[in-house]
C-alpha cells in the first residue's frame, strides 16, 4: 500500500506534468526535457500541442505561451494601459518607486498585502500558486520564499516585466533553485488545464486588464474545486488614480500616447463579477481606495 505522503507526491507530480496547456485549444502540452516547474528545467524543455501541432519554447528566460508565440509577420497591439507596462522604462521603474506610490491610495504596503493574501490562501497551502500580472515579481518572490506552495508560476503579458522579474530572481540562489517558473501569457487566455491551479493572485492588476470579465472567467476555469482567487485594485473614486497626467508625461516620449482610462470598480461590481464567473465565498477588505477581494471555486 502507498503511504499518504507517497500518494500526495504522485498527485503533485501528475499535476505539475499536466498544468501547462495550449492557449489555442487548451489541450495539455506534451513536454520534452527535464521535469519540474523550475527555471532551469523549463528553459531546457520544449512543449508541443498534439492537437494543433503548435510548439512552445522558452524565449530568453521565460516560457512564451501566448497565442502569437512563434509568429513571424503578425503583430498585435493591446490597449494603451496594457502596452504601457511592456515598456522597458516602466518595467525598470515599477519596483523603484512606481509601486510604492500606491500607498497614497490606501495600499497597506507589500509586507502587509502579502500577509493578507497568505491568510486567504491558507486553505490551499501546499498547492500550485499562479501570480498573474506579476510585474517585476514583487509578490512572486515572497510567495516562492515562503515555501508555502509546491510551485509558484509568475505570469505576465509584458516581456520586459518578465525580464526584470528574472533580474531580481537571479540575485537570490534560493529562488533560482526553487519551484518557480516565468510564463508569458494573456490573462484572458490562460495556458493551463482546467481545474489545475490551487491559488491565483492578481496584485494591483484587474484595473489594467483589457477585459476583466474574460480574465476572471479564465481564472475560474483554471482553479481547482476549492481553489482561491485573491486580487487587489483601486476602488472607483475621483481620487484613486496613481497614474496622473504629470506622472506619465516623461514617459510619453518613449512609449507614445498613454490612455489613462483604467477600469475602476465599486465593491458591489467586483463582487458581482466574481459571482457571475462562478466564484463563491466572496469577501473583501477595504482601506480608503484600496480593496483586497477574494473568491473561491466551488467544490
Residue 12 CA to residue 6 CA, distance in Å, equals 10
Instruction: Supply the pLDDT for residue 89.
Output: 63
Return the CA Rg of the chain. 19
User: Would you call 235 exposed, middle or buried from its count of C-beta atoms within 10 A (0-12, 13-18, 19+)?
Assistant: buried
| Residues 116-137, mean pLDDT to the nearest whole number | 97
Residue 204: Cβ within 10 Å count: 21
Q: Determine contact, residues 241/106, Cβ cutoff 8 Å.
A: no
Bridge partners, 230 (sequence order): 201, 294
- pLDDT surpasses 70 at 238: no
Q: Determine contact, residues 150/11, Cβ cutoff 8 Å.
A: no
59-103 pLDDT, tens digit per residue, is 778 999 999 998 989 988 776 666 666 666 666 666 666 777 888
Domain 74-297 classified CATH 3.40.50.150? yes
Would you kindly state where each structural domain of the chain is located, as residue ranges? Answer: 74-297
DSSP letters, 201-247, are EETT-GGG-S-HHHHHHHHHHHEEEEEEEEEEEEBS-TT--SS-HHH
Bridge partners, 154 (sequence order): 131, 182
42-60 pLDDT, tens digit per residue, is 999 999 999 999 999 887 7
Amino acid at each position: 500500500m502507498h503511504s499518504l505522503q507517497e500518494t500526495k507526491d504522485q498527485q503533485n507530480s501528475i499535476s505539475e506534468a499536466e498544468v501547462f496547456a495550449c492557449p489555442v485549444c487548451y489541450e495539455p502540452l506534451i513536454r520534452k526535457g527535464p521535469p519540474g516547474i523550475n527555471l532551469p528545467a523549463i528553459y531546457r524543455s520544449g512543449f508541443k500541442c498534439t492537437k494543433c501541432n503548435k510548439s512552445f519554447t522558452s524565449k530568453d528566460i521565460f516560457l512564451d505561451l501566448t497565442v502569437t508565440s512563434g509568429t513571424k509577420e503578425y503583430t498585435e497591439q493591446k490597449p494603451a494601459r496594457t502596452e504601457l507596462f511592456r515598456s522597458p522604462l516602466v518595467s525598470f521603474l515599477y519596483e523603484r518607486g512606481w509601486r510604492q506610490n500606491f500607498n497614497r491610495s490606501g495600499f497597506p504596503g507589500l509586507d502587509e498585502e502579502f500577509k493578507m493574501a497568505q491568510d486567504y490562501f491558507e486553505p490551499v497551502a501546499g498547492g500550485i500558486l499562479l501570480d498573474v500580472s506579476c510585474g517585476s515579481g514583487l509578490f512572486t518572490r515572497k510567495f516562492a520564499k515562503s515555501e508555502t506552495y509546491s510551485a509558484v508560476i509568475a505570469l505576465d503579458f509584458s516581456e520586459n516585466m518578465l525580464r526584470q522579474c528574472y533580474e531580481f530572481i537571479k540575485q537570490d540562489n534560493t529562488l533560482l533553485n526553487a519551484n518557480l517558473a516565468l510564463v508569458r501569457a494573456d490573462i484572458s487566455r490562460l495556458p493551463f488545464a482546467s481545474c489545475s491551479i490551487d491559488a491565483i493572485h492578481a496584485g494591483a492588476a484587474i484595473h489594467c486588464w483589457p477585459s476583466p470579465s474574460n480574465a476572471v472567467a479564465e481564472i475560474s476555469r483554471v482553479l481547482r474545486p476549492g481553489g482561491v482567487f485573491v486580487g487587489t485594485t483601486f476602488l472607483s473614486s475621483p481620487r484613486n488614480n496613481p497614474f496622473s497626467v504629470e506622472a506619465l508625461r516623461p514617459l510619453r516620449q518613449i512609449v507614445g500616447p498613454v490612455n489613462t482610462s483604467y477600469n475602476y470598480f465599486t465593491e458591489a461590481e467586483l463582487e458581482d463579477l466574481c459571482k457571475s464567473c462562478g466564484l463563491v465565498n466572496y469577501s473583501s477588505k477595504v482601506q480608503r481606495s484600496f480593496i483586497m477581494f477574494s473568491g473561491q471555486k466551488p467544490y
